[in-house]
Amino acid sequence: MNRLLLLSLVLLLTVLSVHAQILYTLSGTVRDSASQQALARAAVVLDYEKNAKGTYTDAQGHFSLNVRFGQHVVVVRQLGYVPYRATIYIRGNTTLDVRLPSVASQLEEVVVTSKGYDRNVRQPLLGVSQINIATLKKMPAALGEVDILRSLQMLPGVTSVGEAANGVNIRGGTTDQNLILMDDTPIFNPTHMFGLFSVFPPDAVSGLDLYKGNVPARYGGRAASVLDISLRNPDLNQFQLSGGVSLVANRLTVETPIIKGKLALLVSGRGAFNDFLLHLASRRLDDIRAKFGDGVAKLFWRIDDKNTVTAMGYYSQDLFQTNLLGSLANVNATGTQYAQQTANGMVRWFHAFNDRMNLQTTALAAQYIPKILSIEDSTSNKVVLKQSLLQRQIKSNINYQLANQKIEAGISATHYRLNPGELIPGNSLAVNYQKTPIENALELGIHAEDEISLSNQLAVSVGLRYSHFLNLGPSVVRRYASDGLIDETTVVDSMQYGAGQVTKQYGGLEPRLGLRYAISANSSVKIGYNLMRQYLQVITNTTTPLPTARWKTSDAHIQPQVSQLWSAGYFHNSKNNIFEMSAEVYWRSTQHILDYKPGANFLLQPYPETQLLPGRSKAYGLEVMFSKKKVS
């Protein structure tokens, strides 16, 4: 009996041992729980806490693993989805179908960043604010409209000179000293309706970076700050439709995949056509018309794992009509219309050589056309004063990322073409056609930047940019008797330049420096220095964004603005980086800023240097900020 029991025990152990050595197949599919779409490259891991083994799903979401007999823990993960975890017992070939719910269906927002929430302390840069659109939407909105420029005025050092101000003033600078970019394309007038609303479609914006202290070396062309606004990429897998209606404007946004996982399109538009409400409010407003609209389309193409192509188009238009403001000279007008339009386009190619190095090349064009239209009393003919500014640019950046170092280098070429003023009489008999000379200019730039952590306490960001500006013909350049006294009475001679000839050139180095020293894990002190050159500026004797405000390139008599900024600050985080506190002091000195002579008139003026005076400006201040970054 005992021998029989022993024999049975040995036989059982032998069978179990054989079973343990036999490999069975665990297979199945991984899909989206809502759309049932197969998820490619999802990670399937077996016995994660022991002798882990795993695989990835193929393009159809299938996976297959060889598994031994017994109990196992299976974990399935995919970026953007809630992980799946289960304990299974393998007795033979087993099929496991997994449905992963999207993170977006459970969380309000997921923020993925390589810098962490303590970048306020760790980054070797001062005066940098990074804000996502979810944060902007939580701020107070005017009549239900999310407005980026008004939201920025809650930051220290950012102010507005009034309701009719075209943009914002940053650290004592003027509105034209801010480089405003939307997906790399410049925005020359960032407001609708004389500064009441910003031109950026809020439903298409993903976030923004404001550099009012240390400006990275890849940016150039302005003297005060950089506002870089990013538009979000369309969803490659799901169709989405959203919109809204308010007293100010109506919005609609559509995202649709064209080739799932590869190619998708986002279209977002906004229009304000509710000016009929003005007539209901008061009869005195019957002659006022106020309309604006803007729209953006963005195409994203993921060619493969190492190449993507992005294309963006943006259009904006404004119209404001009133009989309360003055008309153009020599026009007996019943009303005046102020109109403006912006048309931008961009194509960007991104190539990743490996996980550490990538190359990004961008070609873009941006055109801004403001107009004043005076409606003649007797004939209803429109006399038009038209200006235009066209900027075309091509640039390329290469980035190299190490464990404690980030290196960037790049080149750029920018062409400017300005029509300073053109008076088109139409059918008017009282007005003659006039046109000021077209301005052409070329700006070339090369830059390199290195951000490195030398130790746990010390980090440095060093950048150097060289810019070279060429004012091009055709043009007529006057010579005056004295550089200090330029007016119509001191003209000595003039020189004619042909198309493409260089009439004047400027250039120079633009160093950028940021240094951070960590006092503790939660506190640091920083110092910074910045030098920037500005070759394109606005000349005007008003603060309102009327089309009479004239854009002007540097030339033989108007030198580029040169701004130097010194800054220092103390930064502290607390409560696991939930609360941030900073205190910064700055001092800025700017040379060759433009002021105007008493009674100056820039309208259709072929030689604006006779109406201008060069000068210097200084700005200094203390900025203190306390913020809560996330919910504890």
Q: What is the mean pLDDT of residues 523-543?
A: 89
CATH code for the domain in which residue 49 is found = 2.60.40.1120
The verdict on residue 156 lying in a domain is yes
Has residue 5 been placed in a domain?
Answer: no
Q: Is residue 183 part of a domain?
A: yes
Strand partners, 510: 465
The whole-number pLDDT of residue 250 equals: 86
Residues 140-173 have pLDDT tens digits of 666 667 788 888 888 898 887 665 566 788 998 8
Q: Both 178 and 277 in a single domain?
A: no
Domain membership of residue 612 as a residue range: 230-628
Where residue 342 sits, what CATH number does that domain have? Answer: 2.40.170.20
Residue 554 and residue 408 in one domain: yes
Q: Domain check: are 456 and 541 in the same one?
A: yes
* Residue 13 is assigned to a structural domain of this protein: no
Same domain, 574 and 473: yes
Domain termination site, one of 229, 244, 279: 229
Cross-strand partners of 477: 495
Whether residues 530 and 613 fall in one domain: yes
- Asked if residue 341 and residue 262 are part of one domain, the reply reads yes
Where residue 167 sits, what CATH number does that domain have? 2.170.130.10
Quick one: 453 and 375 in the same domain? yes
In a domain, 46, yes or no: yes
Tell me, yes or no, whether 313 and 402 share the same domain. Answer: yes
| Span 251-282, pLDDT tens digits | 999 999 999 889 999 999 998 876 655 555 45
Is the same domain home to 622 and 503? yes
Average pLDDT, the chain: 85
Mean pLDDT check: name the lowest of 6-15, 182-191, 346-355.
6-15
**Structure-block tokens of residue 512:** 């950028």
- Residue 192 pairs with which residues in a beta bridge? 197
Q: Is residue 111 part of a domain?
A: no
Given pLDDT bands bounded at 50, 70 and 90, which one contains residue 535? very high
Do 389 and 520 belong together in one domain? yes
CA dist 96 and 67 (Å) reads: 13
463 lies in the same domain as 567: yes
- 288 with 313, same domain? yes
Q: Is 354 inside a domain boundary?
A: yes
- Which residues lie below 8 Å from residue 280, measured CB to CB, with a gap of 6+? none
Q: Does residue 68 form part of some domain?
A: yes
Last residue of a domain, one of 70, 105, 140: 105
**Distance between CA atoms of residues 105 and 566, nearest Å:** 46
The residue that leads in pLDDT, 322 or 30, is: 30
**Structural domains in the chain (count):** 3
pLDDT digits (tens, 9 = 90+) for 365-420: 999 999 988 888 878 888 899 999 999 999 999 999 887 889 999 999 999 999 99
Domain's final residue, options 182, 202, 229: 229
DSSP notation for 415-467:
EEEEEEEEEE-TT-SS---EEPPPEEEEEEEEEEEEEEE-SSSEEEEEEEEEE
